[in-house]
Chain A
Amino acid sequence: GAVVSQHPSRVICKSGTSVKIECRSLDFQATTMFWYRQFPKKSLMLMATSNEGSKATYEQGVEKDKFLINHASLTLSTLTVTSAHPEDSSFYICSARDALRRSTFNEQFFGPGTRLTVL
C-alpha cells in the first residue's frame, strides 16, 4: 500500500514550451502533496505544497507563475512548468502522506520522479 506514481518519468522539451507532470496517490487519498526539485549531485529542495481544493503555497524563490500547481482531486496533483528554459532542467519528485495509515502516521511516500530536460 501507499504507492505514489508520477508521469512522465522522463521528458525532453524545447525551450519555451510548457510541460505537465502528474503525481498520483494510487491507493490512498491525500489532501496535501509536496513537490521537490533536485539538481545534479544536490539534495532535494521543497518547491511547493499542493493543497486539494485550494491554492498551493510556494517556497521562497520559487516562481508561482512559472510552476503552476493544481490539486483538483484527492489523488492527483499536477505541476506545470510554463515556458520552460534550460535552467529548469532538473529532477522533480512528489510526495504524499496516507493520513489513515495508523502504523506510520507521519510517513511520507515518494513518487519515482520525473527527469525534465529542456533543450
Chain B
Amino acid sequence: GIQVEQSPPDLILQEGANSTLRCNFSDSVNNLQWFHQNPWGQLINLFYIPSGTKQNGRLSATTVATERYSLLYISSSQTTDSGVYFCAVGKGGNTPLVFGKGTRLSVIA
C-alpha cells in the first residue's frame, strides 16, 4: 500500500514565525488532503490538493504530484495553530485515505 511520511514529527514555534510541513508519499495519488486535528479530536479539512497550489489566509499548500510530495506553509503562526497536522493520500474514487503520522505543532506566545 501507499506509504506516507510527514516531517518534522514535532515542531515548536514562537508566535509570529513561519513554518513548512512536508508530506512525502510512495505512489501516484488522486487525492491529497491536509487536516488540522483540534484538541477535541475533530479533523478540520485545510486543503484538498492532489496537485498545484492553494492558499487560504495564512495557510497555503503545494503538491508536486510528479515528485510525490506536498508542503503546507503556515505564516505568522498563532497559538491557535497548535495541534496535529495530518497529510492523507489516496487513489481517489471509493478508496480510503492513508494518513501520515502527523506533525505536532506547538506555537508559544
Contact = CB atoms under 8 A, between A and B. Distances in A.
Contacts, number: 60
A97 interface: yes
B48 A44 contact: no
B96 A34 contact: yes
A49 B50 contact: no
Interface string A18-29: 000000000000
Interface residues on A, range: 20 to 34
B97 to A, nearest CB: 6
Nearest to A103: B48
A104 interface: yes
Interface residues of B, number: 24
Name the residue among A38, A43, A49 with the largest chain B CB count within 10 angstroms: A43
A110 B98 CA distance: 13
Interface in A92-119: 93, 95, 97, 99, 104-110, 112-113, 115
B93 interface: yes
A108 B101 contact: no
Given A44-B99, A106-B90, A115 B33 contact: no
B99 A43 contact: yes
Interface in B40-90: 40-43, 45, 48, 50, 86, 88, 90
Given A34-B97, A36-B96, A44-B86, 6 more contacts: A43-B86, A43-B102, A93-B43, A97-B93, A105-B92, A106-B50
Interface of A: 31-32, 34, 36, 38, 42-46, 49, 91, 93, 95, 97, 99, 104-110, 112-113, 115
Interface of B: 30-31, 33, 35, 40-43, 45, 48, 50, 86, 88, 90, 92-94, 96-102
